[in-house]
Amino acid sequence: MSYDIFVMRFDNGETVPLDMAVAHEVLDPFAVARDPEAGFLAVAVEGEEADVYFNAPTGITFNRFGGGGVMDLLAVLLRRLDAVLVAPGGPVVVPRDGIRQHLPEALTDDCPVVVARTGVEIDQAIRAA
């Protein structure tokens, strides 16, 4: 896919910092290119690639992503960070139902919130929007 999706974390409707050390722990083993000064990392899983931009401290952007391997990696990242995935025009993907209560009202008013625990479920949620 060629648009941006955003990994974010919320608490009581407010954006909170992501644990970037955990994000790197999850993503770095799959890095095929990096530019630490720009906060950029290219990852590849099972021949599929994605561009990842670290917008510290509160966000990670995935661009030019796709394929089951990258989506599975994204599912692991969401679980480890206890974060959500925000796709333009919806949906908001959460790895577990309890996170829903922390989302800002403005985010959930116009977008469906979907629980997705696997890469396949995330892919299906994005494509259904």
What would the mean pLDDT of 6-32 be, rounded to a whole number?
97
Q: Please answer whether residues 48 and 95 qualify as being in contact, where contact means their C-beta atoms are separated by less than 8 angstroms.
A: no
The pair of structure tokens assigned to 22 is: 């955990």
Rounded CA-CA distance 120/129 in Å is 15
How would residue 89 be classed by pLDDT, with cut points 50, 70 and 90? Answer: confident
The pLDDT of residue 94: 96
The DSSP code sequence of 8-73 is EEEETTEEE---HHHHHHHHGGGEEEEEGGGTEEEEEETTEEEEEEEETTTEEEEES--SHHHHHH
Full-model pTM? 0.94
Identify the residue with better confidence: 54 or 127: 54
Asked whether 123 and 62 are in contact (CB, 8 A), the reply is: no
